[in-house]
Structure 1
Amino acid sequence: MPHSPQDKKKALLRVRRILGQTEALERALEAGADCAPVLVQLAAIRGAVNGLMSEILESHIREELGALPEADDRHTRLAQDMTALVRTYLK
């Protein structure tokens, strides 16, 4: 969970955008939209959710590894490697 006010605000804005996308998807389904636009909307929602998940996971990794009393360069490198892995996996 983002703890700084700025990170929290940023995460909430992303959630609201995702909510708007899902509401648009709901309207398209109710209207009987063609499959292609629905699939495009689903892909956009999936990308937005993955982006939010990546952001929150990265924040968690940085906070947890940075909070260790013995945090050093090794922990910093490990946090960077883990966040790069998360970004790659959630693309």
Structure 2
Amino acid sequence: MPNSAEDKKKVLTRIRRIAGQVEALERALGSDVPCVAMLQQIAAIRGAANGLMAEMMEIHMKDILLTDEPSLKDRAQCTDDISGFIRSYLK
């Protein structure tokens, strides 16, 4: 979880934006919205999720690596975490 109030606010804003996009997609499914418009909305949701992932990885690295003196163990764990996230995300 982000440590700073500013980071939490940024992440929450992104999450709410994604939720709004998903709700709009759900409403579109119940109406006569063309498939192309729905595909565009799905692409926008995917882009927003990508942005959220990048933001969270940046926050995680900053919170761990930019502390006063992160231990070698903490830096290694952060590297492993981020590598794992990237691997699973790119599948």
Structure 1 residue aligned with 2:20: 20
CA distance in 1, matches of 2:7, 2:65: 18
Residue 3 of structure 1 aligns with an amino acid whose one-letter code is N
CA distance in 2, matches of 1:21, 1:34: 16
Q: Does 1:8 align with 2:47?
A: no
Structure 1 unpaired stretches of 5+: none
Q: Which moved more, 1:61-70 or 1:20-29?
A: 61-70
The alpha carbon displacement at 1:65 in A equals 2.2
Residue 14 of structure 1 aligns with an amino acid whose one-letter code is R
Number of residue pairs matched?
A: 76
Structure 2 unpaired stretches of 5+: none
Residue 9 of structure 2 aligns with an amino acid whose one-letter code is K
Give % identity.
53
CA distance in 2, matches of 1:62, 1:13: 19
**TM-score, normalising length: structure 1:** 0.71
The alpha carbon displacement at 1:58 in A equals 1.0
**TM-score, normalising length: structure 2:** 0.71
Stretches (4+) displaced over 4 A = none
